[in-house]
Structure 1
Amino acid sequence: MSEFRVVPILVSFLIAGFIGLFSETALNMALGSLIKDFGIHETTAQWLTTGYLLTLGILVPVSGLILQWFTTRQLFIVSIALSIIGTLIAALAPTFEFLMIARVVQAMGTALMLPLMFNTILIIVPPYKRGKIMGLLGLVIMFAPAVGPTLSGLILQSLSWHWIFWISLPFLVIALIFGSVFMQNVSTPTKPKIDIVSIALSTIGFGGVVYGFSSAGEGGGWGEPIVIISIAVGLLSLVLFSIRQTKMKQPMLNLRAFKYPMFVVGLLLVLVSMMIILSSMILLPLYLQSSLALSTFAAGLLLLPGGIINGLLSPVMGSLFDRFGPKWLVIPGLVLVTAALFGFSTIDLETTSAFIVAMHIVIMIGVSMIMMPAQTNGLNQLPPELYPDGTAIMNTLQQVAGAIGTAVAISILSSGTEKYLQNVTDLANPANQLLAFTSGVQDAFVFAIVVAIVGFIIGLFIKRVKVEQQQAS
C-alpha cells in the first residue's frame, strides 16, 4: 500500500464522484422550468433522467472490459474530460436537443468514473480497512444525490437552470487538475480480446430493460407495446449474453463472481436499497409538492436533514463494519427502513412536516447501515482478478434496479390514484384529486415495504467474509 498515495487518489475520486452524482438529481427540480423554457411535454423532459440512466445501463457493463484495456490515469482523465464537456454543453444549451446530448456525454463520464473508483479502492486499500474507505465513498454516493434537489432549488430561486451546470464546472476542472497531478496507475492493462457479439448483447439487454421500465414509469403503462417489446428483447439478450459469457475462455464480464455467496447476498441487498431509495426519492418530492403544496425549495429542504445524516453516518458505518462485520449493521438497518416505510404508507393531507423529516431520517440511517457494509462484504469475497467484473456487475445492476424501482413506484402511484377516483362522485372537486393522489402515494409505499421485507429475509443470510489482515494484492 505504501507505493500508492492513497489520500490524493481518494480526494480526486471523491470530488469527481460528488459532482457527477450531484448533477444526476440536481436537474429533477428544474424540470418545471425546462418544460416552460423549451415548450416540451413532461414525458419528453423525463428523458433527461431516462437518457442518463440508459447511458449508464449500456456503458457500465462494458466498464469491466474497459478497465482491463486502459491505465487508471487514462480512464480518470477521459471520464473527467467527458463530464466537463457534457457540463459545458449543458450550461450553454440553447435547445432541449443540446441539453439531451449534454446529459448523455455527462453520463458517459459517470459510467467510466464509478467502476474505476470502486476498482481502484479495492486494489489500493487492504481488506481490513475497506469498510472505512467505502464509507467515505458512501458519503459521496448518497450525499450528492440527496443534496442535489435542495441546492438546485436554492439556485433556481434566483438564477436560471443553466447555473446548475455553471456552478458544477469549476469543481470538475479542479478534480481534473488534481487528478492529473496525483493519480497513479494502480493496475496493469491485460488487454483481453474484445468480443463484439457480447458488447452488442449487453447493450441491447441492459439498454432494453432500463428503457422498457423507464417508459412504463413515464406514464406509458405496462401494456404499451414499446414497454413489453423492450423488456422482452432486453431479457432475451441478457440470457444469450450470460450463456455466451459462461462458454468463453476470456469473457467480457466474468460471471464467475456469482459463485461467491456473500457477493450475491451483498449484491441483492444493494439492489433492494437502490429500489427503496430511488422510489422514495421520486415519491416524496411529488407528495410534498402536490399533496402538501410546498415549493420546490421547501420540499428540498425537508429532505436535506436525512441526506446529510446519511452522508455523515456512512464513514461511521464503514468503521463499525471493519470492527464488527456486516450482520449487526445490515439486519437492524433493514428493520429501521421497514419501520420508516410503514410510517410513509400512512401519510395523508394532514401529515406534519416534522413527521416526514423524522421518517426520512430513519430511512436514511437504515440505508447507511445496509448499503456500504453489504457492498464491501460482497466485494471482499472476490479474488483480485474478479474485482473489475464484480464492480461492473454491482454498478450495472444498481442502475437497472433504480429504473425498475422508480417505474414500479410511479405506475402504482398512477393506478392507486385512478382506483380512488373510480369511487368518487364529485370528480371536479380539487380536494378529491388531492386525496386520490395521496392514496396512490400510500399504495406505492406499500410496494416499498414488500421490497424491504424481502431484503430483511436476504439479510438473514449475510456472514462476515474472512480477509487476511495484510496488504491487498
Structure 2
Amino acid sequence: MPTPLSSKKRMVVTILLLFSTFISLASQTMMITALTAIEHSLNIPLTSVQWLTTGYILIVGVVMPLSSNLYEKFSNRQVFLSTISLFIIGSLLGAFASSFSILLLARLLQACAGGILMSFQMTAMITIYPPEKRGTVLGMSGLVIAFGPAIGPTISGIILHFFTWQYLFILVLPFMLLILVVSCLTFPNFSQPQKIKIDLLSVFLSLFGSGMALASLTVLQQNILLGIILLLGGLFLLFIFTRRQLHLKKPMLRVQLFKLRSFCLLTLIGMLAFMVLIGTEQLVPIFAENVLGLSSLQSGLILLPGAILNALFAALAGRYYDLHGPKLLLTVGVALMLIATVPFLLMNAHTPVWIITFAYLVRMIGNSLVFSPAMSEAFKDVPPLYVSHASALNNSLRQVAAAVSTTLMIVLADLPRSLVAGSHLAISFTVILLLLTEFLFLRYAAYTQK
C-alpha cells in the first residue's frame, strides 16, 4: 500500500532517483570516447562498434513510451528496484564481455533500464512534490538530464587514460549496487498499482514504429534507399499507433495531452534545446581531436567547465522559475546560445583551445536557462492522473530529438571536404534550431497573455 512521505523520505527518494538517473545518462555517452579502443580490442570495424551508442539511443527511444504503463500497472518500488537490477545485470555483462555480441547485449540491457528510469524519475519527482515546488524539482531533474550526458565523455576520457574499456562498466557497478541496497532498505511505496490491461497491438506499433524510425537515421548514412524505406515504414506505424490511442478508452499513451498548448509548445522547445545541447556536445570533441589534434582526454576536458556550469545554472533556473516564471530565462538563454555561436562559426585549426572552451561554456549556460524552465512549464497544466503519460511523451520525443541531432550534425560535418567548413555548417544548423526555439516561445508568450 502507498504511504505518505515525510520530508526526510522525500529527500531520500530524490537523492536515489537523481543519482541513479545521472549514472545511467553518463553511461550513455561514456561509450563515445571508447569506440576506437573497442574497435582495436575486439578487432571489428568502426561501423559495427558504433551500434554500442546508436543501439543505446534506439532502445531508450523504444522503451520510453512503455514506461507509463509500467508506472500504472506496478508499484513505484517494484519498478525502481527492477530497473536498477536490470542496469546492474547489463553492467556485469559488459564488464566481462569477451565478444562484441555480448558487449552489445550488455549495452542494450543498460539502455532498457535507462529508458525506463529517465521517465520514472520525472514522474516520481512530480508526484511526491507539491506544484509550487515543481520548478525547483524539475530544475534538479533537468540538471541531471543535461549534466549526465555532458560529463560522460569527460569521465570516460579519464578512465580510458588509466584503464581498459571494461572499466567503463566495472566502475559503475559499486555505485549502482549501493543504490540497490539502500533502495531495498529505504525506498518507500507511494503509488497505487491499477488493474490496467496493456493493449498488445499498441505495444507492437510503438516498438516497431519508433524502432524503425530511429534505426533509419543510422541506416541512411550507409544506404539511402533502405533508410528511407525504414523511415517511411516507421512513421506509418507511428501514425496508426497515434490514431489508435485517440480511440482507446485506456490508451497506452495519452497523446491527447498535446491538445494542451503549454505541454505541446514547451515540449517542442525542450526538444530543440536538447538538440542544440547534444549536437554541440557531439561536434566539439570531433573538431578538437581531428582538427586541433587533441587526445580524447583533452577533448573531454574542454567540455567539463560547460557541463559543470550547465548543472549549476539548471538548478538556479529551476528556483528562479518557481518565483518569476519562464519568460526572462528563455529570452536570456536563447540570446546567450546565439552569442556563443559566433566563435564556433569562426573556429579553425589555429583557434586557441580556451576560446572553444569558453564558447561551449556560454552555450551550456544558455541551454540550461532554456531547457530547465521549459520542462517545468510543459507540465504546468497536465492533470496529476496523467503525469506518467506526459513524462513518457516528453522523454520519448526528447530522445528522438537527440538521435536526429546526433545524426544530422555528423552528416553536415562530413558534407564539405574540410572538417572546418563542415563544423561551421553543422553549427549553422543549430542557429536555425535556436531561431525556431525563439519563435515557439513568442507564440507561447502571446498565448499566455490572452
TM-score (norm 1): 0.91
Note the C-alpha offset of 1:220. Answer: 1.6
Aligned pair 1:281/2:285, yes or no?
no
Q: Which residue pairs with 1:256 in the alignment?
A: 256
- Structure-2 separation of matches of 1:185 and 1:379: 23
Contact residue 15 and residue 172 of structure 1 kept, 8 A = no
Note the C-alpha offset of 1:465. Answer: 11
Contact residue 135 and residue 315 of structure 1 kept, 8 A = yes
- Structure-2 separation of matches of 1:182 and 1:460: 45
- Structure-2 separation of matches of 1:140 and 1:249: 35
Q: Which residue pairs with 2:175 in the alignment?
A: 171
Q: How does 1:138-287 map to 2 (within 5 A)?
A: 138-216=142-220, 219-220=221-222, 224-287=224-287
- Structure-2 separation of matches of 1:19 and 1:122: 20
* Range 398-407 or range 145-154, more displaced: 145-154
Residue of structure 2 aligned with 1:449, choices 407, 411, 431: 431
State the secondary structure of the residue aligned to 1:246.
helix
Q: Which residue pairs with 2:344 in the alignment?
A: 344
Contact residue 272 and residue 433 of structure 2 kept, 8 A = yes
- Structure-2 separation of matches of 1:2 and 1:199: 33
Q: How does 1:63-142 map to 2 (within 5 A)?
A: 63-142=67-146
- Structure-2 separation of matches of 1:437 and 1:274: 23
- Structure-2 separation of matches of 1:301 and 1:241: 43
Contact residue 214 and residue 404 of structure 1 kept, 8 A = no
- Structure-2 separation of matches of 1:409 and 1:324: 35
Contact residue 142 and residue 375 of structure 2 kept, 8 A = no
Note the C-alpha offset of 1:302. Answer: 1.1
State the secondary structure of the residue aligned to 2:185.
helix
Letter in 2 for 1:108: C
Q: Over residues 1-57 of structure 1, what are the superposed CA-to-partner deviations in whole Å (9 max), with x where a residue is unaligned?
A: 755621000111122111111111111111110010111111111100111111111
Q: Over residues 296-345 of structure 1, what are the superposed CA-to-partner deviations in whole Å (9 max), with x where a residue is unaligned?
A: 11111111000011111211111001011011101211111122223312
Note the C-alpha offset of 1:462. Answer: 3.5
- Structure-2 separation of matches of 1:257 and 1:351: 47
Letter in 2 for 1:379: F
Q: Which residue pairs with 1:62 in the alignment?
A: 66
Residue of structure 2 aligned with 1:52, choices 30, 53, 56: 56
Q: Over residues 155-184 of structure 1, what are the superposed CA-to-partner deviations in whole Å (9 max), with x where a residue is unaligned?
A: 111210111111111000111112222222
- Structure-1 separation of matches of 2:248 and 2:239: 15
Contact residue 35 and residue 42 of structure 1 kept, 8 A = yes
Contact residue 379 and residue 390 of structure 2 kept, 8 A = yes
Letter in 2 for 1:84: I
State the secondary structure of the residue aligned to 1:79.
helix
Contact residue 342 and residue 446 of structure 1 kept, 8 A = no
- Structure-2 separation of matches of 1:132 and 1:352: 37
- Structure-2 separation of matches of 1:178 and 1:10: 13
Residue of structure 2 aligned with 1:6, choices 2, 10, 23: 10
- Structure-2 separation of matches of 1:159 and 1:72: 37
Alignment length (residue pairs) = 444
- Structure-2 separation of matches of 1:463 and 1:444: 29
State the secondary structure of the residue aligned to 1:176.
helix
State the secondary structure of the residue aligned to 1:416.
coil
Q: Which residue pairs with 1:330 in the alignment?
A: 330
* Range 132-141 or range 97-106, more displaced: 132-141
Q: Over residues 127-167 of structure 1, what are the superposed CA-to-partner deviations in whole Å (9 max), with x where a residue is unaligned?
A: 11111122222222222222211121111112101111111
Contact residue 143 and residue 372 of structure 2 kept, 8 A = no
Letter in 1 for 2:222: G
State the secondary structure of the residue aligned to 1:165.
helix
Q: Which residue pairs with 1:438 in the alignment?
A: 420
State the secondary structure of the residue aligned to 1:194.
coil
* Range 112-121 or range 286-295, more displaced: 112-121
Contact residue 345 and residue 427 of structure 2 kept, 8 A = yes
- Structure-2 separation of matches of 1:414 and 1:201: 34
- Structure-2 separation of matches of 1:448 and 1:272: 9
Q: Which residue pairs with 1:382 in the alignment?
A: 382
Letter in 1 for 2:176: L
Listed as ranges, the gaps of 5+ residues in structure 2 are: none
- Structure-1 separation of matches of 2:189 and 2:267: 27
Residue of structure 2 aligned with 1:19, choices 13, 23, 32: 23
TM-score (norm 2): 0.96
Contact residue 204 and residue 233 of structure 1 kept, 8 A = no
- Structure-2 separation of matches of 1:399 and 1:192: 26
Letter in 1 for 2:145: I
Listed as ranges, the gaps of 5+ residues in structure 1 are: 418-435, 467-473
Q: Which residue pairs with 2:359 in the alignment?
A: 359
Letter in 1 for 2:424: Q
- Structure-1 separation of matches of 2:5 and 2:98: 49
RMSD: 1.6
Q: Over residues 356-403 of structure 1, what are the superposed CA-to-partner deviations in whole Å (9 max), with x where a residue is unaligned?
A: 011101110011101110111111210011101100001111111111
Letter in 2 for 1:243: R
- Structure-1 separation of matches of 2:345 and 2:434: 13
Letter in 2 for 1:298: Q
- Structure-1 separation of matches of 2:446 and 2:384: 18
Q: Over residues 193-239 of structure 1, what are the superposed CA-to-partner deviations in whole Å (9 max), with x where a residue is unaligned?
A: 211111111111111111111323xx326xx2221011100111111
Contact residue 64 and residue 252 of structure 1 kept, 8 A = yes
Letter in 2 for 1:389: H
Percent identity between the aligned chains?
Answer: 32
- Structure-1 separation of matches of 2:69 and 2:366: 34
Contact residue 139 and residue 311 of structure 1 kept, 8 A = yes
Letter in 2 for 1:437: L
- Structure-2 separation of matches of 1:177 and 1:345: 49
Contact residue 65 and residue 252 of structure 1 kept, 8 A = yes
Q: Which runs of 4+ in 1 moved over 6 A?
A: none
Contact residue 76 and residue 190 of structure 2 kept, 8 A = yes
- Structure-1 separation of matches of 2:81 and 2:178: 12
Letter in 2 for 1:95: S
State the secondary structure of the residue aligned to 1:462.
helix
Note the C-alpha offset of 1:79. Answer: 0.5
State the secondary structure of the residue aligned to 2:31.
helix
Q: Which residue pairs with 1:404 in the alignment?
A: 404
